[in-house]
Structures are given as C-alpha cells and as structure tokens.
C-alpha cells in the first residue's frame, strides 16, 4: 500500500507532466517533443528577428552537413523567395503543410537547370532560434535525410509568425546543374 506522501508526489508529478505536455509547442507533423526549457512564445517578431532566425538556419544547416561530411548548401535568393512566400502562407492560414506547388515553382524558376529538389517545413513558436529549428528537423528522419542529402547544392529558407504566435519555417533545397 502506498503512503499518502507517495500518492501526493505521484499526483504532483502527473500534474507537472500534463502541464508540460499541454504547454509545449507542437514541433512537427511527426512527433511532439517536450522540453522543460522551452522559452515562452514572444508577442511578435520583428523583420530583423526573423532574418536572424533565417541566417541561423543557414548556419546550423551547414554545420550539420559538415558534421556529416556533406558539402555545404549555398544560399540562393530566388529559392529563398519561394521559401519565404510559403512560410508566410502557412502563417496566414495558421497551419503547417507542404507546398503542393513546389515542383512547378522550381521548374519555373530554374528551367532546365535543376535535377532534384526537397522541402522541409515546421511549426514552432515565435522566439524559437534557428538552431532549435534545425535541431527539430534533425530529430525527424525524413527531414534529416532531406537536410543532409548530398545531392542538394542550394538552399532557400523562410520564416513567418502567425497571429497565434506560431512560427512557420520552410527549407527549400535544389540541385542545380
């Protein structure tokens, strides 16, 4: 028979776990990761703060590629526009999903110049760092495979924050001939 003290400790632990689970951000379509150290969502992000997140995603993506002995991807403004527009659309709709028109956009932007492409999307919270977002992708096998794909030569990144304070981000990869 458990003592009253051990039942209270168990109830407190269960309540804490429930609180953490309910207050943790959704971190991707495939899994929910709980983290006690998750920062509180910001009220809104400035364009300078979003640009810093984007810069950090480029940096940490290439760090992960280097750690896996894969060549770095080059930043490509035209691909970044596609990623930025898609992130903005997800934020406006306040939902995360893959861009159903990505192939056509790549074909239109790089006619006869590309041989493969890939896309990673995610949802976190305003205030998340680029490093945390790359870690989120790396913790998902299909996203990690996309991020580390040696065929990819270029990258475009976008980030946008919805009125709900959810941050949506997109990585668009392409191999140019």
Cα(132)–Cα(169) distance, rounded to whole angstroms?
12
**Residues 6+ away with beta carbon under 8 Å from 47:** none
Q: How does pLDDT run across 67-94, given as a tens digit for each residue?
A: 999 999 999 999 999 999 999 999 999 9
> To 5 degrees, how large is the angle CA 12–CA 16–CA 125?
170
For the chain, what is the mean pLDDT? 82
Given this model, what pLDDT does residue 141 score? 97
Continuous H helices in the chain: 4-23, 47-67, 77-93, 102-109, 130-138, 141-147
Q: How does pLDDT run across 125-169, given as a tens digit for each residue?
A: 999 999 999 999 999 999 999 999 999 999 999 999 999 999 999
Higher pLDDT pick, 68 / 39: 68
Which pTM was predicted?
A: 0.77
- In 3D space, the residue among 61, 36, 80 whose CA is nearest the CA of residue 136 turns out to be 61
């Amino acid at each position: 028979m458990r003592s009253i003290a051990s039942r209270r400790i168990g109830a407190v632990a269960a309540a804490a776990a429930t609180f953490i689970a309910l207050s943790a951000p959704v971190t991707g379509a495939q899994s929910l990761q709980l983290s006690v150290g998750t920062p509180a969502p910001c009220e809104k992000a400035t364009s300078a703060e979003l640009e810093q997140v984007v810069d950090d995603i480029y940096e940490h993506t290439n760090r992960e590629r280097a750690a896996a002995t894969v060549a770095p991807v080059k930043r490509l403004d035209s691909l970044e526009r596609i990623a930025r527009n898609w992130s903005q659309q997800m934020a406006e709709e306040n939902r995360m999903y893959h861009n159903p028109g990505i192939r056509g956009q790549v074909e239109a932007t790089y006619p006869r110049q590309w041989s493969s492409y890939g896309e990673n999307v995610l949802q976190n919270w305003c205030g998340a760092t680029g490093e945390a977002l790359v870690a989120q992708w790396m913790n998902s096998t299909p996203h990690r495979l996309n991020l580390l794909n040696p065929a990819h030569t270029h990258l475009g990144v976008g980030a946008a924050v919805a009125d709900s304070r959810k941050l949506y981000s997109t990585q668009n990869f392409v191999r140019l001939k």
